[in-house]
């Protein structure tokens, strides 16, 4: 369950990413709703991969330090996970 939440959060955040080609031909990417999540790459694909890695690290550090993370497309990583009782299974 938590893996699906993380995967969904990452996918939706990356969907909102913005990319620019810089004057030197390299690429810059950022996720506006995730403050400080930026990446650079020689190619757009390299920039996308770097941005995803940066986002994943940003999430893990944020959770560890108990930072308030932005809610993205109804994915709220700030809520404590809930578990169903074994009787419900």
Q: What is the pLDDT of residues 9-18, one digit of tens each?
A: 999 999 999 9
Domains of the chain: 2-88 (3.30.160.250)
Distance CA 38, CA 58 (A): 10
Distance CA 58, CA 77 (A): 12
Distance CA 54, CA 39 (A): 7
Write down the pTM of the prediction: 0.85
Q: What is the pLDDT of residues 36-76, one digit of tens each?
A: 999 999 999 999 999 999 999 999 999 999 999 999 999 99
H-type helices in the chain, by residue range? 2-15, 44-64
51 contacts 39 by C-beta, under 8 angstroms = yes
Distance CA 70, CA 89 (A): 32
């Amino acid at each position: 369950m938590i893996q699906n939440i993380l995967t969904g959060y990452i996918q939706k955040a990356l969907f909102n990413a913005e990319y620019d080609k810089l004057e030197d031909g390299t690429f810059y990417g950022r996720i506006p709703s995730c403050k400080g999540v930026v990446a650079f790459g020689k190619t757009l694909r390299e920039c996308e991969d770097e941005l995803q890695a940066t986002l994943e690290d940003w999430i893990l550090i944020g959770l560890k330090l108990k930072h308030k993370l932005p809610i993205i497309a109804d994915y709220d990583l700030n809520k404590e996970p809930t578990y169903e009782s074994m009787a419900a299974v």
